[in-house]
Amino acid sequence: MNAAIRNRSSRPSRSRGSVIINTAIALSLIIITLIGTEIGFMYFMKREFQKAADLAALAGAQQIRAGCAAATAAAQLNANGAAGGTPGNMPTGLTLLPGEVQCGYWDKDTSFQSPAVTGTANAVRVAFQKASPTLLSFFTGNRLISVNAVAALSAPLAEFSVGSKLVTVSGDSTLGRLLKGIGLDLSGTSLVAYDGLAQAKITPGGLLAALGIPVAADIGVGELNTLLAGRQVALGDLLNAIVTLAGQNSLLASNIALLQAIQAKLGLTNLMVQLGSLADGPRGLFAQIISPGGTGSSALNVGVSALDLLYTSIGVATANHAIDVSSLNINLLSLAKVSVQAGVVQPPSIGIGGIGAKAYNAQVRTYIRVTTDAGLLGSLLSPLIKLDLPIVLDAVQGTGTITDMCTPALQDPANGKDRVRFSVESKIANVCVGQIASTDLFSKSAACSYPSTLKDMELINVLGLLKVNNHLDLGVLKATPDAQLTLAEGETGTTPVNNLQLGTTVSSLLSQLTSLLFGGQAPTGAPTGSQLDNLTTQLWNNTASICTASTTACWGQRYASAINTIRQNSSQSGLLTGLLSGVSDLLTGVLNQCTGLLGIGGSEQGCKNMIKDALQTNSNGLNGSVSNAVSVLAGLLEPLLNAIGSSILTPLLTNVLGINLGQVDVNLKSLDCKGLPMLVY
């Protein structure tokens, strides 16, 4: 019994249900595999959708400058292919529709705008949602896939400069002429060797690297402007970096002589250069970079003329410092003393960027002070007439702004070259006469602002009876409308001759001076005896060139000349309305103190007495009786005022500074319109 039981228990037992379990597992694996395959296929299709969107956006961005219709057509052609031709990048059976393509503006700060608001359209967005094809038809459900791609065209960039129209003189070096335009006449310093820098190009990025200033590869335009505006470098270091990068190491020795000459002119050392500019801030070597849709790295790679960099660096370093202009040969009829200074109150700058970018010329100020403490009026007549005219004249301030660029409409019809349109504003910012503190004279661009910087002062005093205590301000003389220039790379445009002609400026200045002097002011009182004696002696001595013999004939000629001078000066003064009284010709044969009777009994002192009598007599004036002596002295001012224009302003601006007042040059150094499309989202 026990043996039988043992035999039954030792037999292997039969497995039940194992096939069902294995089958379930196998089916589960198959289902998981099928689901995974379908999901993988959907991920694959999403990549295909995204690739199609990316390529279509890039194709559209390439054509965005031709207009949105052209960009949309290019995007669709890339996605859908041509009928009967090259297939597109969209999966079979799917089509990119026009409504799935948008044109707009993109930059890193505003992202994508459609329609473009901040700037001109420079980007294309392709966005669509479509159902993915199925690999296994029995899978159903939501199979929609959404993709989005934005491609932007890199911003076109131009590099340009703005300068006053300079007078070309045979033999002048280019750098010498440019420096003369900012008041730095470095005659005696050899500058011809620097002209070779005009053909060399330097990138701002290369210059910063040479100066040891690190810049991030992905720096934005705003960050780059802030970086440059916050950096100052020594002028000597900057000059050496420029000539080294230009491959002109032979100029390193010349830089030493150039720097010494500049420092000697200014009487200063340790000249510094600010590299960049910000809006409403001090101006540096580079104007504020404006590149809609662009990056800072693209601006850093623009080629800039090495000569422009050198000249502009010197202009920035020497700004706000006065330079005595000693080479001006001034002739004011020996009537007055003149001192002249020139200096840069706003430096030039190099413009880099796209639409909205600006460049400026150097705003050069000339300070002319005319006084009667020397010369004819200063010696014998200083107790009688005093003149003190501090004249501030800013040469033309030019600003060039890019208003359009790289469009089909701007292309040169003759050769198809891309071009840039500039709006050029030119104006004489300040023309004034009055008291300005020496600390403000060359340190503030708005020195003619009354009453903050420009003050009233005694400009003219005739015998203490006729005084002008005032100021003059011609304000802003502006050429209107702004000139429009369209230039291709390498071209220079000049604004047309405008209403800022020197003659107009001088005429307006002198007419205001005359108006101040004779604008209804009535001299009160009478000259003292000593004042009349001084004026009489001066008038008599001025006739010594006629003859010096102690004879009645000679005395008569000298007296007649003195009386004629009295008549002429009085009529020039504008103070008198009627004929001079008490001024009569000397009649031969008539008894008088000068020639006596029939040439007997006259004397030189008698002639002077008759002149003095004529001077102390009153005549009819604008507002009553006016002393002949006052009108004579006032009349001396007219030739003096006229000489200010012909002997100071004109030769100063044209011969010394070499500036053609009223004209501005704009030079487009380089232009990159191509632009590369890039995926930005």
Q: Which residue shows structure tokens 């224009």?
A: 645
Give pLDDT, residue 49.
80
Mean pLDDT of 530-541: 89
pLDDT in tens, 92-110: 778 888 888 989 888 766 6
The pLDDT-based confidence of 31 (bands split at 50, 70, 90) is: low
pLDDT in tens, 34-55: 666 666 667 777 888 888 888 8
d(CA 86, CA 200): 46
The DSSP call for residue 133 is: P
Give pLDDT, residue 610.
92
Contact present, 585 and 560 (Cβ < 8 Å): yes
388 CB-contact burial (10 Å; exposed 0-12 / middle 13-18 / buried 19+): middle
Give pLDDT, residue 456.
92
The pLDDT-based confidence of 469 (bands split at 50, 70, 90) is: confident
The pLDDT-based confidence of 422 (bands split at 50, 70, 90) is: very high
pLDDT above 50: residue 1: no
Give pLDDT, residue 444.
79
Range with lowest mean pLDDT among 210-224, 266-280, 612-626: 612-626
Give pLDDT, residue 681.
76
Residue 265's φ and ψ, nearest 5 degrees, are -65, -40
pLDDT above 60: residue 374: no
pTM (2 d.p.): 0.70
d(CA 404, CA 11): 100
Q: How many residues does the chain have?
A: 681
The fraction of the chain above a pLDDT of 90, given in percent, is: 17
Q: Which residues of 162-201 are buried (b: 16+ CB within 10 A; e: fewer)?
A: bbbbbbeeeebbbbbbbbbbbbbbbeebebeebebbeebb
Give pLDDT, residue 488.
94
**Cβ-Cβ contacts under 8 Å for 678 (sequence gap 6 or more):** 58, 61, 151, 152, 153, 154
Give pLDDT, residue 427.
78
Range with lowest mean pLDDT among 155-164, 245-254, 472-481: 472-481
Give pLDDT, residue 332.
57
d(CA 354, CA 156): 6
The pLDDT-based confidence of 606 (bands split at 50, 70, 90) is: very high
d(CA 40, CA 354): 46
Q: Which of 64, 75, 48, 53 is nearest to 127 (CA)?
A: 53
Range with lowest mean pLDDT among 276-285, 316-325, 396-405: 316-325
pLDDT above 90: residue 400: yes
Cα torsion angle, 543, 546, 550, 555, sign: negative
Give pLDDT, residue 625.
80
Give pLDDT, residue 650.
64
Give pLDDT, residue 523.
72
Mean pLDDT of 350-369: 87
Residue 499's φ and ψ, nearest 5 degrees, are -80, 15
The pLDDT-based confidence of 622 (bands split at 50, 70, 90) is: low
Give pLDDT, residue 540.
92
pLDDT above 80: residue 375: no
Mean pLDDT of 601-630: 86
Mean pLDDT of 438-461: 86
d(CA 442, CA 311): 20
Return mean pLDDT, the chain.
80
Give pLDDT, residue 666.
92
Range with lowest mean pLDDT among 398-412, 512-526, 569-583, 594-608: 512-526
In single-letter form, the type of residue at position 34 comes to L
pLDDT in tens, 122-166: 889 998 888 877 665 555 666 788 888 888 887 788 999 988 776
670 or 643, which is more confident?
Answer: 670
The pLDDT-based confidence of 6 (bands split at 50, 70, 90) is: low
Mean pLDDT of 424-433: 81
Mean pLDDT of 347-358: 89
d(CA 313, CA 184): 13
The pLDDT-based confidence of 673 (bands split at 50, 70, 90) is: confident
Peptide bond into 115 cis (omega under 30): yes
The pLDDT-based confidence of 265 (bands split at 50, 70, 90) is: confident
pLDDT above 90: residue 237: yes
